[in-house]
Structure 1
Amino acid sequence: MAGIGEPLVRGAAGVSASAPAHLLALGRGIERADATARIVEAHLLLARDHPLPDAADARLVLRACGADDAADARLGRGAAIDLLTADRSHPASIAHALVEARDAARLARESLPAELSDMLVATRARLPRKVVEPRVPDFLAWVRERSALAVGIIESAVARDGAFELIALGRRLERAAATARLLAAHADDPESGPGWMFVLRSAGAHEAHVRAHRGAPTAAAAIELLALDERFPRSVAHGLVHAERSLRAIGVDGGAAGLAASRRAAAELSLLVEASASAAAELGTAPADADRARARRASALRSLHAAVQQATREILVALD
């Protein structure tokens, strides 16, 4: 990486050679804790209104949060929620993300305001070892508040230098990855169904969808907003566009090709959504046509998720 040990943005304070990976991990940890809390919160509402068998319920929320290894272990719903909230050893859990953010801030403390480090230390100290089921909603609300507080401190107290851009890059990559993973987890859902309401709520996009579309959510509307709309801050497209800007600001060449591949996958998905909508209008709702369109959409969503994952890996290697 060019410029390690030198100012990463002209006129800015320097970032030490060991700090970039830690600052990136800080941004990713904060964003992952918030994203997981939102997904579990939305899942509790979905499970209340549209209950599933226990094992299927657990697999759905685990895959949406990226815990595919645990999803294959056939955990029950209670065990899945416990893993995603308080299991500090599992990388998909909220507790693991917040501990990682605290550790990353400690290792990059020379580049950060003491206020942020102190807040993350206090958050880590208050993490419970177990969250009993009646307290899960309160815990999720607390996690979202602490994540918002961390972001607020970063926005108001971190100079717009290399440190800020690296944290922002981590947040943007993690947000794009979380949304792509969420869409891929529901890739096989029917065009209209409760799963797309869950997807929108998980990404904080339900109100934006209502204002734009009215009526019940559909796969096409959810994908248009969460994968393709660069104006919506939790969309994959928004995350990738702003990650590119952060990469240019800090002078990192590695990873740019991966982001370009991700954006090409998103463009292909956009064409697919348009073609599916046109086909539905022309051909009606014949089951065979619907099945083919759903299979193509599912393949495109999984390709998008894989492309975002690859871009993140390339950037991590470039910053190592």
Structure 2
Amino acid sequence: MLSRIAEALFWIGRYVERAECTARILDTYLQLLIEDPVIDEEATCRSVMAAMGIAYGEGTPDAGTLLQTLLLDRTAAPSIAYAIETARENARRSREVVSTEVWEAINSTYNAVLAGQLQQRRPADAFRFVRERASMISALADSTQSHDDGWQFIVLGRSIERIDMTARLITMGNYVSGPNGAWALTLRSCGAAHAFTRVYRVTESPRAAAEFLLLDRLFPRSISHLLEQAGHCLEELDPRSRRVGFGGDAARVIGQAHARLSYLSLTDLVTDLPREMEELQRVCADATEAIAKRYFEGVVAPEWLTEAL
């Protein structure tokens, strides 16, 4: 596979996942501002923007600022509109590999954004639209493309982005709502509330929620499951690693993070949770850099940009 195609597929996976996760974040926290009349709106908005890599300058951010910056701004790297547009550009670059159904789903979503449908809908409806379209694109990639190297790059990008976004959500939940309500809010943001309730029944302790989101091996958005999935993709992309151990720096970074998470006690994990989540974000950045060096032949990987507004 050409390196430019591999790179485009990897970033399709990442940007589609970024759009979905950002929609989940905005939906949860804007609903929180409505439900909780005593919450500090400015502090909440600043925390959300900081978690997404945006340093807000002078002025007082509010819900309107969040919508403009993280939903509609096509020039801001963390925004939904930017993610959809960039996913479409990568799909265009890899058109000979991407299935017709995936291309049509991405292109029609991009055209809807370009036509202003995100602005025309109520925020909750806009977030639902983005979540549904992102889920459809991912499902079409899984069901209409051969599970060859190209598909592995899509899943690899999706997994790394989901690890990064889940780590950001966990950190943000603790800062916005304090330790008591943090995990309930984070479960909602990750779309994990229903699955968590089914597993733990009436138990809603922060410890149980942390165990589910960090260590559960069956839930597709848990950190442990995603690290294992990313490691499997890297193994499939380099079959020689099955005989001689880790086949590259990316597999080594992912494998070490997975081993540490698996064998570190839950008590130790939650004792300094922000630092552990920051370390996971660093793992994602290091793995992305290693993947770019190994498979993309010097292509500079896109980064989260911190912008002063």
Following TM superposition, where does structure 1 have runs of at least 4 consecutive aligned residues deviating by more than 4 angstroms? 71-74, 128-134, 187-192
Q: Which residue of 2 aligns with 1:156?
A: 143
CA contact (8 A) 1:247 1:256 kept: yes
Deviations 1:127-157, CA, capped at 9 Å, x for gaps: 0558559711111111111112111211221
Counterpart of 2:273 (choices 286, 297, 300) is: 297
> Aligned partners of 2:257, 2:134: CA distance in 1, in Å?
27
Aligned to 2:61: 75
Residue aligning to 1:32: 18
Counterparts in 2 of 1:255-266, with a 5 A limit? 255-266=250-261
Residues 231/63 of structure 1: CA separation in 2 closer, same or farther (3 Å cut): farther
**CA shift digits 1:67-116 (9 cap, x unpaired):** 33348975322111221111111111111111111011100111111222
2:296 counterpart of 1:310: no
Distance of aligned partners of 1:161 and 1:230 in 2 relative to their CA distance in 1, 3 Å threshold: same
Deviation at 1:193, TM superposition (A): 2.1
* Conserved? CA contact 2:73–2:81, under 8 Å: yes
Matched, 1:45 2:38: no
Q: Which amino acid aligns with 1:135?
A: R
Counterpart residue number, 1:115: 101
Classify 1:50/1:26 alpha carbon distance in 2 versus 1 (closer, same or farther; 3 Å): same
Q: Distance in 2 between matches of 1:211 and 1:103?
A: 39
Match status 1:19 vs 2:14: no
The answer for unaligned runs of 5 or more in structure 1 is 1-14, 277-292
Aligned-partner SS, 2:147: coil
Match of 1:246 in 2: 233
In the aligned structure 2, how far is the partner of 1:130 from the partner of 1:61? 24
CA–CA distance in structure 1, aligned partners of residues 157 and 88 of structure 2: 15
Paired residue for 2:183? 196
**One-letter code aligned to 1:54:** E
> Could you tell me whether the CA contact under 8 Å between 1:262 and 1:311 is conserved in 2?
no
In the superposition, the TM-score normalised over structure 2's length comes to: 0.83
- 5+ long unaligned stretches in structure 2: 239-246, 297-309
What's the TM-score, normalizing by structure 1?
A: 0.80
- Give the equivalent residue in structure 2 for 1:7: none
- Matched position secondary structure for 2:164: helix
Quote the Cα distance in structure 2 between the aligned partners of 1:224 and 1:305.
Answer: 19
SS at match of 1:36: helix
Asked if residue 97 in structure 1 is aligned to residue 71 in structure 2, the reply is no
- Render the CA deviation track for 1:284-305: whole Å, top value 9, x for unaligned: xxxxxxxxx75x3333333333
Residue identity in the other structure for 1:117: W
Tell me which residue corresponds to 2:242: none
The percentage of aligned residue pairs carrying the same residue is 28
- Give the 5 Å matches for 1:152-301: 152-188=139-175, 192-215=179-202, 217-251=204-238, 253-267=248-262, 270-271=264-265, 273-274=266-267, 294=271, 296-301=272-277
* Distance (Å, rounded) in 2 between the aligned partners of 1:33 and 1:197: 22
Deviations 1:244-291 (CA, angstroms, capped at 9, x unpaired): 1111111262311211232244246x41x2368xxxxxxxxxxxxxxx
What SS does the corresponding residue of 1:18 show, helix, strand or coil?
A: helix
Deviation of 1:319 after TM superposition, in Å, equals 2.5
Distance in 1, matches of 2:206 and 2:257, equals 20
How far did residue 190 of structure 1 move? 7.8
Higher relative contact order (CA 8 A, sep 6+): 2
Q: What is the match of residue 289 of structure 1?
A: none
Distance apart, 1:207 and its partner CA: 1.2
Q: Please report how far the alpha carbon of residue 310 of structure 1 lies from its aligned counterpart in structure 2 after TM superposition.
A: 2.5
Distance (whole Å) between structure 1 residues aligned to residue 121 and residue 109 of structure 2: 21
- Measured in 1, the distance between the counterparts of 2:90 and 2:236 equals 21
Output the amino acid matched with 2:14.
Answer: R
1:178–1:229: structure 2 CA closer, same or farther, 3 Å change rule? same
Q: Distance in 2 between matches of 1:235 and 1:241?
A: 10
Give the stretch that moved more between structures: 301-310 or 138-147: 301-310
Instruction: Report how many aligned residue pairs link the two structures.
Output: 286
CA contact (8 A) 2:174 2:182 kept: no
Corresponding letter in the other structure for 1:238:
H
- Say if 1:261 and 1:307, in contact at 8 Å, map to a contact too: no
Matched with 1:5 is none
**AA at the equivalent of 1:312:** T
Moved more, 123-132 or 99-108: 123-132
